[in-house]
């Protein structure tokens, strides 16, 4: 049975670190790819520029708008291809946003007005363009749900994993504890009175570089990777929380398996 153990949560970045137990690399990678490519988020897809006397071309501004992460409400919107309107565009699959600004000054993402208060820029201080005196920018944008496999702007975050490190130390053979501790770039070890111990707080930081193994006297340290435990990192861009990304990915993965099972019957 697959188990999940949360190791830490960073309130500032939203990053969540956890261990996935009782599985293999194929399943771990399938989950990572599902999170990156299949979990939908909201992003600006179409832009109608009505006025633009700034120094930037319409295309550059449209590109910048598309890359602004938007808070996403998965309960209220559907992917266009799964909507009842069949992708023609309705309130269930599209959202209108407007922007109207005059110079002088910098136009920020906070000036984008959304018809849905739940869907707005994650980072309001994101600069879009600088307007000089007399310059104007006016536009209407359409945001839709999409997935990372269509375009990176719909990717929900940075997700990666690694095999859980397994480190063993032979105290009787280790005669250069201080050197081994200094050799580790992520401070996995503590050395005191000639004895080498593992710093449990930093153990999961080990990226299996084997710097300690190379310098350890008498082959006193071995570093291996687990075959059934993986350390996962989910760092959201802000459209969804790490929990929403993981749970949505699990549901999508389950749906994919059910669809596969149905097709091979």
Domain membership of residue 65 (yes or no) is: yes
Residues 147 and 64 reside in one and the same domain? yes
Q: What tokens were used for 76?
A: 């209220």
CATH number at residue 21: 3.30.1360.10
Sort strands 157-169 and 221-236 into parallel, antiparallel or unpaired.
antiparallel
DSSP strand pairing (16-21 vs 113-114): unpaired
Q: Is residue 260 part of a domain?
A: no
For residue 59, the domain's CATH number is 2.170.120.12
Domain count, the chain: 2
Residues 162 and 147 grouped into a single domain: no
Threshold 0.85, pTM exceeds: yes
CA dihedral 144, 148, 153, 158 (to 10 degrees): 130
Of the three residues 105, 120, 152, the one that is the final residue of a domain is: 152
Residues 53, 141, single domain; the answer is yes
59 lies in the same domain as 129: yes
Same domain assignment for residues 24 and 110? no
Tell me: do 219 and 163 sit in the same domain. Answer: yes
Residue 182 lies in a domain: yes
Domain termination site, one of 152, 175, 207: 152
Phi, psi of 238 (to 5 degrees): 120, -15
Domain span at residue 208 reads 3-37+157-235
Domain boundary among 127, 152, 177: 152
Is 111 within a domain?
yes
Q: Which residues of 199-224 are buried (b: 16+ CB within 10 A; e: fewer)?
A: eeeebbebeeeebbbeebeeebbebe
Does some domain include residue 220?
Answer: yes
Same domain, 188 and 224: yes
- 148 in the same domain as 58: yes
Q: What is the pLDDT of residue 261?
A: 82
Examine the domain organization and report whether 185 and 202 are in the same domain.
yes
Report yes or no on 78 lying in a domain: yes
Q: In what order do the strands lie in the sheet with 16-21?
A: 3-9, 16-21, 221-236, 157-169
Residues 112 and 138 placed together within one structural domain of the fold = yes
Residues 24 and 119 in one domain: no
* 3-state SS assignment for residue 164: strand
245 part of a folded domain: no
Average pLDDT per 10 consecutive residues for the chain, totaling 265 residues:
88 93 94 96 97 97 97 93 87 95 97 96 97 97 96 96 94 91 94 91 92 92 95 96 96 90 82
* Residue 263: how many other CB atoms lie within 10 Å: 7
Same domain, 140 and 163: no
Within-domain flag for 252: no
């Amino acid at each position: 049975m697959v188990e999940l153990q949360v190791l830490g949560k960073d309130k500032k970045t939203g990053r969540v670190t956890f261990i996935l137990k009782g599985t293999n690399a194929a399943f771990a990678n399938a989950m990572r790819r599902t999170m990156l490519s299949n979990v939908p988020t909201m992003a600006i897809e179409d832009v109608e520029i009505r006025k633009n006397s700034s120094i930037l071309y319409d295309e550059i501004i449209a590109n910048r708008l598309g890359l602004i992460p938007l808070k996403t409400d998965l309960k209220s919107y559907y992917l266009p291809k799964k909507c009842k309107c069949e992708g023609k565009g309705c309130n269930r699959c599209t959202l209108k946003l407007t922007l109207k600004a005059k110079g002088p000054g910098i136009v920020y993402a906070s000036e984008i007005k959304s018809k849905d208060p739940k869907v707005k820029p994650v980072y309001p201080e994101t600069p879009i363009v600088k307007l000089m005196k007399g310059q104007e920018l006016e536009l209407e944008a359409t945001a839709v749900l999409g997935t990372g496999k269509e375009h990176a702007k719909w990717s929900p975050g940075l997700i990666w994993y690694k095999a859980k490190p397994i480190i063993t130390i032979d105290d009787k053979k280790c005669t250069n504890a201080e050197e081994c501790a200094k050799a580790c770039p992520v401070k996995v070890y503590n050395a005191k009175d000639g004895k080498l111990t593992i710093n449990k707080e930093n153990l999961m930081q080990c990226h299996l570089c084997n710097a300690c193994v190379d310098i350890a006297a008498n082959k006193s340290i071995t570093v291996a990777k687990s075959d059934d435990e993986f350390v996962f990192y989910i760092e959201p861009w802000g459209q969804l929380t790490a929990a929403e990304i993981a749970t949505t990915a699990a549901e999508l993965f389950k749906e994919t398996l059910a669809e596969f099972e149905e097709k091979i019957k």
